Amino acid sequence: MSFVVRQIAKRADGGDIIRTRTLDIAEITVGRGTDCDIQLADLGVMLRHARLLQLSDGTVAIQSTGGIPLEIDGKFVSRADLSVADNPVINIASHRLSLSKGDAPGSIAITAERVIAATDAADAASETGIFSLRETMPSKRGLAWVLAGLVLIIGLALPLFMMGGSDLPADMVAAASRPTGDGATRLQPALGGDDVKKTGYSADMVWTSGPLSTAHAGLSNNCGACHSQPFVSVTDSACVSCHKPDAVPDHASADRMATGRLPAGGFEAGIHKGLNLPEGRCASCHKEHEGPRGALMVAASFCTDCHTGLSGRLKDTKIANVPNWDDHPQFKPTLVTVASLTAPKFERVSLGDKPVERSGLVYPHDIHQSATNSVGNMVQKQGLAAGPNGALACSYCHTPDSDGVRFKPIEMEKNCGDCHDLAFAKDGGIVRTLPHGKPEQVAGIIRDFYLGQALNPRAGVQRLAFERRAPGKMAELEAADLRITSVGEARARGDAAIAQIFGANGKAGGLCSDCHIVNNTGAPNVAERFTIAPVTLASHYLPKGQFPHGQHKTYDRKTGDAACVACHKGVMTSKVSTEVLLPSITQCRDCHGSTNVATNVAATCNTCHGFHYGEGGQGGDIGTSPHRKPAKPATVAARALPVKLGSAEPVGAKARRAGV
């Protein structure tokens, strides 16, 4: 009966130290206590942990004495009988006891060894890692890769992948391409940035260098719309795809622009050249991504840069050089030199060179501005629009257009007809009127009238006389003796009447010659003897610029006609219509850019001019003033004065009837 105890200790360098003792007793104790037969230096072990009792040869009873169950072959028991033959293993804390048959007969070998290394087994040197963060933090390298990767994906890869644009929003294209002719279809309101919902996400939005102007806000998620090619700065083609040229005409044709432009120089130009950023692109002036207001880049010298020495570069230009406002050349109104129904001729003549306009119309302003003469009476009798002095108001003929920029075209029926009616005879209740603008018919009508009386005389038919007289005082001419006996007589009296109505030999008193120049060709046939010179009225004297009359109604603290004539001097005294009554540029300088602080008003180029007026002037460009309204290009109408057949009664007739 004996136990052979082999206690195995690990050496630091790995080797084993085996200490063997033989105990010739039947019972041994296991524990941490020094008095135990098998002492296990392990705080996990009780002072007296277990007892081994050798029952018979080959069987051992083991019993826990420390109150902690023993782990034997994986099972936890407080006591057990073990047969040594099947080499049982007992685990106590971090130690293991393995039993086996001893060499000596009846002896039992117990091998005790530590299976879990002691806390201080780890050598200090290998642990110095705990002093650096390396083991606590993810590696800098990893973090760097992740972060950089993320940035590259979101900031570069995705956008590159999803680059390019979807097709343009129809409404914007429509709005942009609509001719900006009348104020109703302005761009701005049509596409106010906020009412355009910025729908949809596009990866390349992260490349934006700033918010788009409200007008373009709708394209925020559609970079490709403008940035069509990579590494190529936004080209005009991109702009023009929406902003059609007829909506926004060029300042001048591209080639003329190219030659006319001041050759760019200096550092910046060099860079631009190097980076393939040609001058004169839309984008050179229209900078985008500069916030909601958008940004039109216009330097003070924007126009004069080119226009100072334009003639030097653009040899054949008709435009005078304009170095600045003070040296702005005198106005050169477009005047009619040859009036014609088909091909009138115009010429720009500086106001300085005694300009004469040959419109073919006879209109003495002075007569019509008098309050006392027959015109004045007419105004009163008929209650026409009158100025404070009772004379006919300017606006009676010159009616401002909707924008108050310019005036509606003058029409005979509207602006002259009330006084100058063409009544000719009276047949019972019917007033017969001669047609305006059809002189060749007039002679026929008159002759037929007399022949009618000769063949079939009727009472109650009267011919009306034409010489101006006090209204009501009119007496029926020839009322008595319109009984014509012979055809011959009828023809003679008709011819006389024709000559009288046309006012032959330009002598006044004729119906036509009041306003028109009548020529007597002396043709034998009286019907073909008289012709009327054609009339051509200019509709726009200064097409390259604009003068908002509406904003000048109170010029010089005057109102109404006084304000008009304050600039259009000479109207009151003008006897002939060949006089040009436009104010000269000096008139403008009274206020614009004047030295007199009180009256000084800005005088930048685009106060009157616009860049996108087009070559003929009056382009679609709205300039910067919302009140501007462009007109159609300077078209000229040759107007005959048509006679209204059977339409509303002429005023004159009314008057006469009233007199009845």
Partner 1 sequence: MLGGKQGVSERYRIAIVGSGPAGLSAAAHAAKLGISHVLLEKTGHLSDTIYKYQKGKHVMATPSQLVLRAGGGLQFEPGKRETILGIWDEMTAAGKVNVKLNAEIKSITGTGDPIPGSIQKISVRKRDGTTDINELQRLAPPYKLVMTSGEEIIADTVILAIGTQGNPNLLACPGAEKPHIQYQLDDPAAYNDEHIFVYGGGDAGIENALGLAADAAQGNIVTLMNRGAEFNTAKDANVKALFAARDAGRISIMTETSPRAVENKWVVLDTRDGEVRAQCDRMIARIGSAPPRGFVEACGVEFASADRLAFPKLSAVFESTAPGIFVVGALAGYPLIKHCMNQGHDVVEFINGNTDLKPADEPILEAKFRGLPGGKSVSEWLEYLRSNVGILEGMSVLQMREFMLDSEARAYRAGEVIFERNAPGSSLFGIADGQARVEINPNDPSITVPIGKGEIFGEVGLISGRRRGATVRAGTDCVLVEISRSAALKLMSAVPAASREVTRITTLRSLLQIFKSGLNADDLTDVVGSAKVETIRAGQAIIKEGETGDDIYIIRSGSMIVEKTIGGKPVFLSYVPAGSYVGEMAVIDGDPRSATVRAAVKSDVIKLEGASFRSLLAAKPELLARLRNDMASRTQLNTFIESKKDSFGGVVEMYSGIANFLVDNGVGEATDVLLIDEKLCVGCDNCEKACADSHDGLSRLDREAGRTYAHLHVPTSCRHCEHPHCMADCPPNAIHRGPTGEVYIDDTCIGCGNCQRNCPYGVIRMDKVPPKKPWLLNWLLFGQGPGPGEPDKKWSYKHAKKGVEAPKKAIKCDMCTGQSGGPACVRACPTGAAIRVSPEQFLSVALLDRGGE
Partner 2 sequence: MASRAAGKAGGKAIARAPRETTHEGFLTHKRSRWLKIALFLSALSIAIYVLTDPQPRANGGSVAGYALGTLGALLIIWLSLIGLRKRIITTKPYSLKGWTSAHVYLGLSLVVIGTLHTGFQLGWNVHSAAYVLMMFVIISGIYGIIAYARLPEQLSANRNEATQPQMLEAIRALDRQLDTAAQPLGKEEADIVRLSLEKTDIGGNLWQRLTGRQPNCGTMRARDAIQALVNLQMRTGKPDQRLTQILFLLERKDAALAQARRHIRMKTQLEIWLYLHVPATFALLAALIAHILSVFLYW
Q: Which stretch binds partner 1 (CB under 8 A): 12-20, 159-167, 330-338, 529-537?
A: 12-20
DSSP string, 153-187: IIIIIHHHHT-S--PPPHHHHHHHHS---SGGG-H
DSSP string, 306-339: HHSSHHHHSTT--SPP-SSSTTPPPP--EEEEE-
Dmax over CA atoms of the chain, in Å, equals: 186
Joined tokens for residue 630: 């462009």
Nearest to 504 by CA among 525, 469, 465, 531: 531
Residue 263 binds partner 1 (CB under 8 A):
no
Decide which of partner 1, partner 2, none touches 80; Cβ closer than 5 to 8 Å per partner kind: none
d(CA 128, CA 149): 33
Least distance (Å) from partner 1 to the CB of residue 148?
11
For residue 362, give Cα distances in angstroms to 19, 269, 365: 146, 58, 10
Nearer Cβ to partner 1 (114/436): 114
Decide which of partner 1, partner 2, none touches 572; Cβ closer than 5 to 8 Å per partner kind: none
Backbone CA torsion sign across 171, 176, 182, 186: positive
Binding mask 489-528 for partner 2 (x = CB under 8 A): ----------------------------------------
d(CA 388, CA 288): 53
Residue 199 binds partner 2 (CB under 8 A):
no
Nearer Cβ to partner 1 (142/291): 142
Binding mask 14-43 for partner 1 (x = CB under 8 A): -x-x-x------------------------
Q: Which stretch binds partner 2 (CB under 8 A): 228-236, 333-341, 488-496, 592-600?
A: 228-236
Contacts of 447 (CB under 8 A, 6+ apart): 491, 494, 495, 498, 526, 527
Decide which of partner 2, partner 1, none touches 352; Cβ closer than 5 to 8 Å per partner kind: none
Alpha helix stretches (DSSP H) within 178-330: 187-190, 236-240, 254-260, 266-274, 282-285, 302-307, 310-313
> Residue 25, SS3?
coil
Of 155, 245, 352, 659, which one interacts with partner 2 (CB under 8 A)? Answer: 155
DSSP for residue 377 = H
Nearest to 428 by CA among 458, 453, 454, 461: 461
Decide which of partner 2, partner 1, none touches 201; Cβ closer than 5 to 8 Å per partner kind: none
Q: Which stretch binds partner 1 (CB under 8 A): 9-17, 260-268, 275-283, 565-573?
A: 9-17
Of 86, 115, 131, 481, which one interacts with partner 2 (CB under 8 A)? Answer: 131
Nearer Cβ to partner 1 (120/353): 120
Residue 9 binds partner 1 (CB under 8 A):
yes
d(CA 587, CA 607): 15
Contacts of 147 (CB under 8 A, 6+ apart): none
Q: Which stretch binds partner 2 (CB under 8 A): 39-47, 251-259, 480-488, 573-581?
A: 39-47
Binding mask 234-263 for partner 2 (x = CB under 8 A): x-----------------------------
Nearer Cβ to partner 1 (145/161): 145
Nearer Cβ to partner 2 (204/403): 204
> Residue 215, SS3?
helix
Residues 126-185 that bind partner 1 (CB under 8 A): 139, 141
Of 57, 81, 268, 528, which one interacts with partner 2 (CB under 8 A)? Answer: 268
Least distance (Å) from partner 2 to the CB of residue 45?
9
Residue 10 binds partner 1 (CB under 8 A):
yes
Joined tokens for residue 257: 């622009």
Contacts of 401 (CB under 8 A, 6+ apart): 407, 408, 629
Binding mask 289-308 for partner 2 (x = CB under 8 A): -x----xxx-x---------
Binding site residues, partner 1, CB under 8 A: 9-13, 15, 17, 19, 139, 141
Q: Which residues of the shown chain bind partner 2 in the complex (CB under 8 A)?
A: 32-34, 41, 43-44, 46-47, 66, 118-120, 124-125, 127-128, 130-133, 135-137, 140, 143-152, 154-156, 159-160, 163, 204-211, 223, 227, 230-234, 267-268, 271, 287, 290, 295-297, 299
